[in-house]
Amino acid sequence: MNATLKKTTVYPQTTIKITGSKSETNRLLLLKALFPNLHVANISNSDDSEAMQNALQEKAESSDIRIVDIHHAGTAMRFLTAYFATKALSDVVLTGSQRMQERPIQILVEALQQLGVEITYEKNMGYPPIRIKGKKITANEVTLKADISSQYISALLLIAPQLENGLQLNLEGTITSMPYLKMTLALLEELGVSTHFEGNQIIVKPKAEVASQVVTVESDWSSASYWYSIIALSEMGTQVTLSSYKKNSLQGDAALAEMYQKFGVETVFNANHSITLSKIKGALDEVVRFELNNSPDIAQTIAVTCFGLGMGCDLYGLHTLKIKETDRLEALQKELSKLGAAISVTNDSLHLKVSKENPLENVKIATYQDHRMAMAFAPLALKVPIVIEEAEVVSKSYPDFWNDLRNVGFTIEEN
């Protein structure tokens, strides 16, 4: 399905309900599988979280090999690899989409092999699908690289409390996406698990069970990023209220509130845990510079916002974007160039030049089976009509996205 977005102006004041963070949800779903006394509220309605739930709820019907297909869900692939490693079941083959089979898993596999788990590759060395023969793990020390994906580390941290002797992680190199690690550790602490993080070493103590409790997932800040972009590109005075967010969020993408001040967007945290975004002034600088090592998922949104405002940007810390649903740096360069942008990328940065020309009209934006490509480019309809190809891909993290856009005034034709 292609979505054709007409040039539009959004309503002056609207309210949007955004479901729980995919990142928090998937961590808590795994913890719930380990600790049945845990109950989770405001679960994300994303495809990724649905894939995670289905995989955890499925029961093997016989002693045959169990095949678990998580489609495009990268977080689920990493977290479930660790989870099934702790289960002494018949063999589990964990697989996914064609793109998922091109996304590396070797660092996590090798870490689990250090703990004595038997994992083999079904096709290509270092990539899914993988066959896991779970076991009771008694070893408690692992060394792994920290500069590739924080999801590998989080996967190990999440299973650590249920390991007989807990876990000590020794991390090599610069830690990527630190807020996501801190999110994992904060959720463990909330359940009463003892953790210690100092330098490049993390220790998690074993815990057999947790007290019965309900944990409510905060709404997804990554999903909020598209609303920040919409307000930044809107007329002065435009407002949108989003629920439900915390000022002391565990999510790294909460940095949006500060970053988007550069684009004239003010964030007010309301007493009912909603936030109100308001366009209060024009952009402050011709060129902005952001280090996004802790929040790489908002790089696409920021780059498109800058282009829509005629601004330039230099974005750094983006090395993990090359192993996402697509190579996001290459994809951004191709699609922004179609619209008339002057843009260059390296292995870990993006550089967009200032442009005073309006974006070209009715350009078809390829999404590369990447939900964030579709949603990042949609706000440009506030400047020119635009076509988003394979628009249904948004269901991976934000299934209500197109309906929410219609509810604030966007005109969208599906064909």
Residues 365/5, Cβ–Cβ less than 8 Å: no
Tell me whether residue 99 is annotated as binding: no
Listed residue (158, 196, 154) closest to 176, CA to CA: 154
- Amino acid (1-letter code) at residue 305: T
Tell me whether residue 27 is annotated as binding: yes
Tell me whether residue 239 is annotated as binding: no
The answer to whether residue 297 is catalytic is yes
Tell me whether residue 328 is annotated as binding: yes
And the tokens for 191? 């359940």
- Amino acid (1-letter code) at residue 263: F
Helix, strand, coil percentages for the chain (3-state, nearest 5): 35, 25, 40
Residues 47/395, Cβ–Cβ less than 8 Å: yes
Tell me whether residue 66 is annotated as binding: no
User: Which residue among the candidates 297, 314, 370, 404 is catalytic per the annotation?
Assistant: 297
Tell me whether residue 322 is annotated as binding: no
Tell me whether residue 131 is annotated as binding: no
Strand 13-17, strand 38-41: pairing: unpaired
Which string of b and e fits 320-350 if b means at least 16 CB within 10 Å? bbeebbbbbbebbbebbeebebebebeebbb
In three-state form (DSSP H/G/I as H, E/B as E, the rest C), the secondary structure along 159-215 is: HHHHCCCCEEEEEECCCCCHHHHHHHHHHHHHCCCCEEEECCEEEECCCCCCCCEEE
Tell me whether residue 90 is annotated as binding: no
d(CA 340, CA 96): 35
Tell me whether residue 406 is annotated as binding: no
Strands of 45-84 (E only): list them.
66-69
d(CA 369, CA 396): 9
Tell me whether residue 262 is annotated as binding: no
Tell me whether residue 150 is annotated as binding: yes
Tell me whether residue 324 is annotated as binding: yes
Known binding-site positions for 3-phosphoshikimate: 22-23, 27, 149-151, 177, 297, 324
Known binding-site positions for phosphoenolpyruvate: 22, 74, 103, 151, 328, 372, 396
Known binding-site positions: 22-23, 27, 74, 103, 149-151, 177, 297, 324, 328, 372, 396
Active site members: 297
